[in-house]
Amino acid sequence: MEFFFQQLTNGLAIGGIYALIALGYTMVYGVLKLINFAHGDLFTMGAYLGLTLLTSLALHQHLGAFPGVIVLAVMVMGLVGIIGILLDQAAYRPLRESPRLSAVVSALGASIFFQNLVMMVYGAKYQYYPKNILPKTVITIMGLPIPLMRILILLTSVFMMVALYLFIQKSKVGTAIRAAAIDQGAARLMGINVNRVIMLVFFIGPALGGAAGLMVGLYYGQINFTMGWVYGLKAFTAAILGGIGNIPGAMVGGILLGLIESLGAAYISLAWKDAIAFCVLIAILIVRPTGLLGERVAEKI
Amino acid sequence: MLLEIKNLRVKYGNVEALHGINIRVEEGEIVTILGANGAGKSTTLNAICGLMKISGGEILFRGSPLHKMPADQIVKEGITQSPEGRRVFGTLTVRENLNLGAFTINDPRKNKKNLDWIFRLFPRLEERSGQLAGTLSGGEQQMLAIGRALMGQPRILLLDEPSLGLAPILVKTIFDTVKEINKSGVTVVLVEQNARVALKLAHRGYVMEVGNIVMEDSAASLLSNPDVQNAYLGGKK
Q: Does the residue A123 lie in any domain?
A: yes
Average pLDDT of A215-220?
Answer: 94
Band (A297; pLDDT cuts 50, 70, 90): very low
> Is residue A120's pLDDT more than 50?
yes
CA–CA separation, B149 and B105 (whole Å)? 12
Query: Which pLDDT value is given to residue A301?
Result: 33
Band (B235; pLDDT cuts 50, 70, 90): low
Q: Does the residue A262 lie in any domain?
A: no
> Could B89 and A176 be called an inter-chain contact, meaning their C-beta atoms sit closer than 8 Å?
no
Tens digit of each residue's pLDDT (9 = 90 or more) over A44-75: 999 999 999 999 988 878 888 888 999 999 99
> Could A190 and B103 be called an inter-chain contact, meaning their C-beta atoms sit closer than 8 Å?
yes
Q: Does the residue A160 lie in any domain?
A: yes
Average pLDDT of B49-64?
Answer: 95
> Is residue B237's pLDDT more than 70?
no
> Could A299 and B90 be called an inter-chain contact, meaning their C-beta atoms sit closer than 8 Å?
yes
Band (A93; pLDDT cuts 50, 70, 90): very high
Question: Would you call B117 helix, strand, or coil by DSSP?
Answer: helix
Mutation target to probe the A interface, by most A beta carbons within 10 A, among B51, B89, B96 is: B89
Q: Does the residue A193 lie in any domain?
A: yes
CA–CA separation, A6 and A147 (whole Å)? 9
Query: Which pLDDT value is given to residue A109?
Result: 96
* Closest Cβ opposite residue A176 in set B76, B88, B103: B103
Of A278-282, B59-63, B98-102, give the lowest mean pLDDT range: A278-282
Q: Does the residue A117 lie in any domain?
A: yes
* Closest Cβ opposite residue A175 in set B72, B96, B148: B96
Of A116-130, A268-282, B107-121, B172-186, give the lowest mean pLDDT range: A268-282
Query: Which pLDDT value is given to residue A298?
Result: 39
Residues 6+ apart with CB under 8 A from B78: B61, B152, B153, B154, B155, B156
Average pLDDT of A266-287?
Answer: 87
Chain A, 187 to 206: residues with Cβ < 8 Å from chain B are: 187-193
Structurally, chain A folds into a number of domains equal to 1
CB B58 within 8 A of CB B67: yes
Tens digit of each residue's pLDDT (9 = 90 or more) over B75-125: 999 999 999 999 999 999 999 999 999 999 999 999 999 999 999 999 999
The structure's pTM equals 0.91
Residues 6+ apart with CB under 8 A from A14: A258, A261, A262
Average pLDDT of A169-183?
Answer: 95
CA–CA separation, A213 and A163 (whole Å)? 19
> Is residue A299's pLDDT more than 80?
no
- DSSP H or E run through B219: helix B219-224
> Chain B residues with CB inside 8 Å of A183's CB?
87, 89
Tell me how crowded residue A186 is: count the other CB atoms within 10 A of its CB.
Answer: 23
* Closest Cβ opposite residue B72 in set A183, A191, A298: A191
- Mean pLDDT (chain B) is 94
- Mean pLDDT (chain A) is 92
> Could B92 and A178 be called an inter-chain contact, meaning their C-beta atoms sit closer than 8 Å?
yes
SS (H, E, C) chain A: CHHHHHHHHHHHHHHHHHHHHHHHHHHHHHHHCCCCCCHHHHHHHHHHHHHHHHHHHCHHHHCCHHHHHHHHHHHHHHHHHHHHHHHHHHHHHHHCCCCHHHHHHHHHHHHHHHHHHHHHHHCCCCEECCCCCCCCCEEEECCEEEEHHHHHHHHHHHHHHHHHHHHHHHCHHHHHHHHHHHCHHHHHHCCCCHHHHHHHHHHHHHHHHHHHHHHHHHHHCEECCCHHHHHHHHHHHHHHHHCCCCHHHHHHHHHHHHHHHHHHHHHCCCCCHHHHHHHHHHHHHHHCCCCCCCCCCCCCC
Q: Does the residue A273 lie in any domain?
A: no
Q: Does the residue A21 lie in any domain?
A: no
Query: Which pLDDT value is given to residue A37?
Result: 95
Query: Which pLDDT value is given to residue B107?
Result: 95
Which residues from B are below 8 Å from A when comparing CB atoms?
A: 49-51, 70-72, 75-76, 80-81, 83, 85, 87-92, 96, 99-101, 103-104, 132, 134-136, 138, 141, 148-149, 152
Query: Which pLDDT value is given to residue B231?
Result: 87
Query: Which pLDDT value is given to residue A100?
Result: 86
Band (A12; pLDDT cuts 50, 70, 90): very high
Q: Which residue of A has its CA nearest to B45?
A: A189
> Is residue B213's pLDDT more than 90?
yes
* Closest Cβ opposite residue A189 in set B83, B99, B132: B83
Cβ-based contacts under 8 A for chains A and B: 80
Tens digit of each residue's pLDDT (9 = 90 or more) over A15-30: 999 999 999 999 999 9
Kindly tell me the burial class for residue A120, based on how many C-beta atoms sit within 10 Å of its own C-beta (0-12, 13-18, 19 or more).
exposed
Average pLDDT of A165-182?
Answer: 95
Tell me how crowded residue B106 is: count the other CB atoms within 10 A of its CB.
Answer: 9
Query: Which pLDDT value is given to residue A132?
Result: 78
CB B163 within 8 A of CB B195: no
* Closest Cβ opposite residue B100 in set A179, A185, A301: A179
What is the longest distance spanned by two Cα atoms in chain B?
A: 51
Closest CA to A42 of A154, A202, A151: A202
Average pLDDT of A153-164?
Answer: 94
Q: Which residue of B has its CA nearest to A246?
A: B91
Band (A270; pLDDT cuts 50, 70, 90): confident
CB A276 within 8 A of CB A268: yes
> Could B92 and A175 be called an inter-chain contact, meaning their C-beta atoms sit closer than 8 Å?
yes
> Could A192 and B103 be called an inter-chain contact, meaning their C-beta atoms sit closer than 8 Å?
yes
Tally the C-alpha atoms within 13 A of residue A23's C-alpha that lie toward its C-beta.
31
CA–CA separation, A81 and A117 (whole Å)? 17
Give A63 or B185, the one with higher predicted confidence.
B185
Q: Which residue of A has its CA nearest to B73?
A: A191
> Could A176 and B100 be called an inter-chain contact, meaning their C-beta atoms sit closer than 8 Å?
yes
Band (A295; pLDDT cuts 50, 70, 90): low
Buried b (16+ CB within 10 A) or exposed e, B13-46: eeeebbeebebbbeeebbbbbbbeeebbbbbbbb
Tell me the range of A79-83, A230-234, A296-300, B224-228 where mean pLDDT is highest.
A79-83
Domain that holds residue A156: 2-14+35-228
> Chain A residues with CB inside 8 Å of B87's CB?
183, 185-186, 189
> Is residue B27's pLDDT more than 70?
yes
Tens digit of each residue's pLDDT (9 = 90 or more) over B114-164: 999 999 999 999 999 999 999 999 999 999 999 999 999 999 999 999 999
Q: Which residue of B has its CA nearest to A170?
A: B96
> Could B51 and A188 be called an inter-chain contact, meaning their C-beta atoms sit closer than 8 Å?
yes
> Chain A residues with CB inside 8 Å of B89's CB?
178-179, 182-183, 186
Q: Which residue of A has its CA nearest to B140?
A: A300
Band (B183; pLDDT cuts 50, 70, 90): very high
DSSP state letter for B64: E
Query: Which pLDDT value is given to residue B72?
Result: 95
Band (B236; pLDDT cuts 50, 70, 90): low
